[in-house]
């Protein structure tokens, strides 16, 4: 069975983008939790992306709705998981992501930090890296219990061992003195000891606070078998992102190929061919899989043609859909150089009918501006303009600077 690029793009719109519309499987998403669950996880490395990803998909929601889910209800939780990336996941998925991805990340991060403490020059010198990390972790825990949520700077004052510094070993501009604060907090986050909380100041601020994970899970994150958790995470991902290749799953999770294959083998899947070439280009076919329970006829119902044909979206930096697959030509086309930075991070993108067609920015005056990279016709331009106006009204003059920008983005922002 072959899944065409057009069919994949229609399912992308139905399953991931037009979530404010009643679908064939589920009603319209009306909460940030519902939006997040249908995407498995939202990228949270760049602070504004979580809010913007929700607003792009559920027209009835605003910035405060996302904040309440994150920090009042705590039904969405920030975790350091797949690919050593910060994500937001539904509360009941935290144990799955923790066992399937975070624990392995934590082991690698702790090993690396111990190696750096043992081999790099530090101030003060470190005689026993294991003892230092144990003592620093205890200081962090004590400081958070005593003072409540603290940001990194506050923590480094309350837990002085965090100020242990790695010294430069070269004359390179990037090789500067750096403290242990950030790497240790990454270790503790991946281990499930601390959780990233609300930002200081504006909703888009990158200056966030940390709290003990026990503030979210009083008994700690429930323990799951790692193999079983990987199988469950693969199932959830294929439900949202399939049909797709095992290579796509491997990339998204950060697993090795053996782990990805074992997770898929434990599921009831069928092998398919997926077209992976750019829209309108030569057919490029790859071996893929899809859950046997997936009924493509439901998602590809002709009754949904109008939804797909008229759908425009402005997705943020590192959006979960833009970053959902490693093979992206079938929805990205020729626009990778303009819309991704050199490290593979996606900038803010304009979508039309399930494919990327441009980029957008919020200028310093709060204006939402957009630029198309291909002709989408009068209807497409009108739909993009309407979506930009809707998003601008929700932001109400609020401005922010993404953490990841491309030359095209910077050029447009300056213009």
- Residues 415 and 253: their CA atoms lie apart, in Å, by 37
Residue 355: pLDDT over 90: yes
Distance (Å) of CA 32 to CA 28, 35, 43: 12, 5, 14
Q: What is the pTM of this model?
A: 0.95
CB atoms within 10 A of CB 179: 17
pLDDT band at 403 (very low <50, low <70, confident <90, very high): confident
Specify the pLDDT at position 34. 97
pLDDT band at 310 (very low <50, low <70, confident <90, very high): very high
Pair of tokens at residue 407? 């030359």
- Residues 205 and 199: their CA atoms lie apart, in Å, by 6
Lowest model confidence (mean pLDDT) among 54-58, 195-199, 297-301, 353-357: 297-301
CB 40, CB 307: distance < 8 Å: no
Specify the pLDDT at position 302. 85
Q: What percent of the chain has pLDDT over 70?
A: 100
- Residues 407 and 413: their CA atoms lie apart, in Å, by 10
CB burial of 336-373 (b: ≥16 within 10 Å; e: otherwise) equals eebbbeeeebbbbbbbbbbbbbbbbbbeeeeebebbeb
**pLDDT 10s digits, 41-100:** 999 999 899 999 999 999 999 999 999 999 999 999 999 999 999 999 999 999 999 999
- Residues 382 and 311: their CA atoms lie apart, in Å, by 11
Specify the pLDDT at position 405. 83
Residue 408: pLDDT over 90: no
Residue 295: pLDDT over 90: no
Q: Sign of torsion, CA 364 397 50 315?
A: negative
Q: How many CA atoms lie within 13 A of 258 on its CB side?
A: 0
Residue 283: pLDDT over 90: no
Specify the pLDDT at position 304. 83
Specify the pLDDT at position 406. 84
Closest CA to 368 of 336, 400, 345, 346: 400
What's the order of all strands across the beta sheet hosting 2-3? 2-3, 269-275, 285-291
**pLDDT 10s digits, 11-38:** 999 999 999 988 777 899 999 999 999 9
Pair of tokens at residue 193? 């000891």
- Residues 128 and 122: their CA atoms lie apart, in Å, by 12
Q: What percent of the chain has pLDDT over 90?
A: 85
Specify the pLDDT at position 343. 87
3-state secondary structure of 103: helix
- What's the chain's average pLDDT? 95
CB 255, CB 84: distance < 8 Å: no
3-state secondary structure of 92: helix
pLDDT band at 401 (very low <50, low <70, confident <90, very high): confident
Q: What mean pLDDT comes out for the span 351-361?
A: 97
Residues written for the chain = 415
Specify the pLDDT at position 127. 96
Specify the pLDDT at position 230. 98
Residue 378: pLDDT over 80: yes
């Amino acid at each position: 069975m072959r899944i065409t690029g057009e069919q994949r793009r229609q399912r992308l719109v139905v399953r991931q983008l037009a979530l404010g519309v009643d679908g064939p499987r589920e009603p319209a998403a009306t909460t940030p939790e519902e939006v997040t669950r249908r995407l498995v996880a939202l990228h949270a490395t760049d602070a504004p992306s979580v809010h913007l990803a929700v607003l792009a998909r559920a027209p009835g929601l605003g910035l405060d709705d996302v904040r309440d889910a994150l920090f009042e209800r705590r039904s969405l939780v920030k975790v350091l998981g797949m690919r050593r990336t910060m994500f937001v996941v539904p509360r009941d998925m935290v144990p799955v992501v923790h066992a399937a991805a975070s624990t392995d990340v934590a082991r690698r991060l702790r090993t690396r930090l111990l190696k750096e403490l043992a081999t790099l020059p530090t101030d003060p010198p470190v005689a026993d890296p294991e003892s230092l990390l144990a003592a620093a972790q205890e200081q962090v825990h004590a400081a958070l219990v005593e003072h409540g949520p603290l940001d990194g700077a506050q923590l480094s004052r309350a837990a002085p061992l965090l100020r242990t510094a790695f010294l430069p070993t070269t004359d390179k501009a990037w090789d500067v003195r750096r403290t242990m604060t950030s790497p240790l907090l990454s270790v503790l986050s991946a281990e499930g000891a601390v959780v990233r909380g609300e930002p200081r100041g504006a909703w888009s601020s990158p200056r966030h606070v940390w709290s003990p994970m026990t503030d979210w899970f009083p008994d700690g994150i429930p323990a799951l078998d790692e193999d079983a958790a990987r199988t469950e995470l693969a199932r959830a991902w294929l439900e949202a992102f399939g049909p797709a290749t095992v290579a796509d799953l491997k990339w998204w999770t950060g697993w090795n190929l053996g782990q990805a294959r074992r997770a898929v083998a434990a599921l009831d899947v069928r092998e398919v061919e997926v077209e992976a070439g750019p829209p309108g280009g030569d057919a490029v076919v790859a071996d893929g899989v899809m859950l046997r329970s997936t009924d493509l006829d439901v998602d590809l119902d002709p009754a949904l043609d109008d939804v797909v044909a008229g759908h425009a979206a402005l997705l943020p930096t590192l959006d979960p859909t833009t970053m959902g697959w490693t093979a992206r030509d079938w929805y990205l086309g020729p626009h990778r150089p303009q819309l991704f930075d050199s490290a593979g991070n996606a900038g803010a993108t304009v979508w039309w009918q399930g494919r990327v067609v441009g980029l957008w920015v919020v200028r310093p005056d709060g204006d939402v501006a957009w630029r198309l990279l291909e002709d989408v016709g009068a209807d497409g331009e009108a739909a993009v303009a309407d979506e930009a106006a809707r998003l601008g009204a929700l932001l109400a003059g609020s401005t922010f600077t993404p953490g990841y920008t491309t030359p095209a983005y910077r050029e447009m922002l300056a213009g």
